[in-house]
């Protein structure tokens, strides 16, 4: 039973990553990543945000949520991100920029 739960969780993560990969630009990818995060963490507030919204203060993403977001991005791009690379991501605009840089590097 536990193996079945693990398998379903892995499949869900991969389906989520594929959904992000299909998105056309960093803003769409960010929106999908935040939606995915909100499915795992009911405290996260993604109803209304703009580029200046702060991940922690405005969207209520805690340190575990930031780690989940980082792991989701790693899964999408098949890379490892150092936590020090992610410390400057404070706003949605910062997250867009980070994803845009990953898209540029991937090309």
How far is 58 from 29, CA to CA, in rounded Å?
Answer: 19
Q: What angle do CA 92, 94, 96 make, to 5 degrees?
A: 70
pLDDT digits (tens, 9 = 90+) for 67-106: 989 999 999 999 999 989 899 999 999 999 999 999 998 7
Confidence of residue 38 (pLDDT cuts 50, 70, 90): confident
Q: So what's the pLDDT on residue 3?
A: 84
Is residue 63's pLDDT more than 80?
A: yes
Q: Mean pLDDT, to the nearest integer, of 10-36?
A: 90
> What's 24's DSSP letter?
S
**CB-based contact 37:66 (threshold 8 Å):** no
Q: Give the bridge partners for 54, in sequence order.
A: 91
Three-point CA angle 99, 103, 106, nearest 5°:
135
């Amino acid at each position: 039973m536990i193996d079945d739960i693990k398998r379903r969780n892995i499949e869900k993560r991969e389906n989520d990553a594929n959904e992000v990969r299909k998105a056309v630009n960093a803003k769409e990818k960010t929106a999908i990543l935040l939606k995915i995060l909100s499915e795992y963490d009911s405290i996260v507030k993604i109803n209304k945000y703009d580029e200046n919204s702060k991940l922690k203060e405005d969207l209520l993403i805690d340190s575990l949520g930031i780690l989940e977001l980082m792991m989701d991005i790693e899964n999408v791009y098949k890379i490892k991100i150092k936590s020090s690379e992610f410390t400057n991501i404070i706003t949605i605009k910062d997250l867009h920029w980070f994803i845009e840089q990953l898209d540029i590097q991937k090309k």
